[in-house]
Structure 1
């Protein structure tokens, strides 16, 4: 009786140990298989070893999706900016520039984040056909350089060495996005976003409510139509150092267009204010940076014009309607030939 009890007691820890080791081995094997699935699918197109396939953007956070799209060899031109540039359609610019554009503009992107996606785009091309940079207030901010927003930014996706990106695949978010991308690659679901980065994010035009839009537009301040000379601004504008660095990396044969986007006139700052002086200094410095590139032009839509003074052109202070997007695209099409020509819609700061 005593011998049987001792044998049973001795076997119990051994049985639990075997169970534990098997459970750990099964869990490790499952994790390895899951990780292998994520890496092979590579939902964001940033890993060197993956299933060969065109990966359309599937993530709501463009900071993940566009790091891979900027690497895609099928594009030889790019639009960089915030949501103020997202309404520009690559298909409208492809023929005039003789290029294949990707719109890599990201909602609320800082100047640093924009510069990083442009850096990746330039790094993967010897001679891109064109680069269009939409500039707005984030490029003219004073004070310490803001690098990020509350949206996660995967720095490893933008690094030269790809190995850090493998760590980003060890997350529930990566598993979720890999599953979504796998369904798209299998043809079981249409891509949720455009394959060239363009996706309409504003309501359809038939839903436009002029009265509601007008209520959201700040009033145009006195003197905005014919503003007095702004006060001189001598302070630093840190984002422009990033812009100068990226412009220097753009090959001389690449057509480079920088345009200050047409924000609603009432959102451009009070005439004669310190902010107006900083914006004026920012525009002058951007023009100076552009003059270092032999194939660059700077267009200033962020001024009093038939576009910016008409409330019916806007959804909100930052975002214009389809007709204005088409109007800007037409101006860009002429800029592709080297000389956009005069227009009331913009001023040419450098060419």
Structure 2
């Protein structure tokens, strides 16, 4: 009798144990989920605490959708790290606008087009849209959408409720913790509230000899006869420009690579770059009110080694000079210093 009772009670005991185990596991998980959802580290969930959020995530693909939707801004810069040093405060003064700089490190043309599309959907009448053009816009072959950096597509869509299925993971929990600390002023935000951050070392640490060692032309492939290049990402640029309201000023610019990185005309890369310039020039001409300036030329900026940390990244003072040049180009004026060539003036349509 005793043995039979013990045998029948064993499954019930185990069942109670498993229920308690699941309960103890579920309670912390529910608390963690509620914390992430309420803090809302990226400011993208439909229901969250009505608090001012900071940009806390290193990967701008997570940090910038919140800024792209922000109604404080009426103008935007997109591009890669070669456009990140453009200061919104300086652009605001030059253009009479309120800029967000949403340029992403190593952002593909597709990723840039996604953040621009999000900004356009969130702002019915942008004042100025600025796109920094570099090698990502001149890649030929199949369209490259992503990089090894994660890209949260749900943040760029219309159904933000989907986010509640995306936030139960260690990364979201870590970023929610950072956001909570930033809200309490116990941690610094990763970027400014306009997307800007000086990501370079302090200028006092600049070493011209070290920089010069990096400014070496890469190996070149000889030109080929009658090459044909396909730039599928150009369709994205044309689509975004065509969707802009007529009153929006569009400013496209080839970024100022150091001359060592600019492909010579007698090379395959030089032919590709020439074809890319021609195609983007045609796109810019097709949309009234669009200016296209080319800073990727041998110039007083790009010939001077001490203007650069490496072939891609110029110093802060050059970024300010670039911003002044962009204002000149947007007004249809050429560069008296020869810093850029105005390929398409805003009125040439």
For residues 203 and 340 of structure 1, the distance between their equivalents in structure 2, rounded to whole angstroms, comes to: 33
Aligned to 1:176: 174
**Matched residue of 1:128: which SS?**
coil
Deviation at 1:43, TM superposition (A): 0.8
Contact 1:74 1:100 in 2 (8 A): yes
Q: Is the 8 A contact 1:257 1:298 kept in 2?
A: yes
Residue 329 of structure 1: aligned partner: 323
**Do the aligned partners of 1:231 and 1:273 also contact (CA within 8 Å) in 2?**
no
CA distance 1:80–1:232, shift in 2 (3 Å): farther
Q: Tell me, yes or no, if the aligned pair for 1:259 and 1:298 is still in contact at 8 Å.
A: yes
SS of the aligned residue for 2:271 comes to helix
1:341 to 327, 334, 337: 334
Aligned 8 A contact 1:88 1:325 in 2 = yes
Instruction: State the partner residue of 1:314.
Output: 308
Matches within 5 A, 1:1-351: 3-219=1-217, 234-336=228-330, 338-343=331-336, 344-351=338-345
Number of aligned residues: 342
Tell me the alpha carbon deviations over residues 224-268 of structure 1, each in whole angstroms, 9 at most, x when there is no partner: xxxxx9976542111111111111122221111100000011111
Q: What do you get for the CA RMSD once the two structures are aligned?
A: 2.0
Greater shift after overlay, 235-244 or 111-120?
Answer: 235-244
Moved more, 20-29 or 4-13: 4-13
Q: Distance in 2 between matches of 1:333 and 1:303?
A: 18
TM-score (norm 2): 0.92
Q: TM-score, normalised by structure 1?
A: 0.92
- Output one character per residue of 1:197-220: Cα deviation in whole Å (capped at 9) or x when no partner: 111111111101001100011149
Q: Is the 8 A contact 2:85 2:196 kept in 1?
A: yes
SS where residue 22 of structure 1 aligns? Answer: helix
Runs of 5+ unmatched residues, structure 2: none
Residue 305 of structure 1 aligns to a residue in which SS? Answer: coil
The 3-state SS of whatever aligns with 1:291 is helix
2:65 and 2:115 in contact (8 A); partners too: yes
Gaps of at least 5 residues in structure 1 are 223-228
What CA distance in whole angstroms lies between the structure 2 residues aligned with 1:221 and 1:69? Answer: 40
User: CA distance change for structure 1 residues 232 and 52 in 2, over 3 Å: closer, same or farther?
Assistant: farther
1:214 aligned counterpart, secondary structure: helix
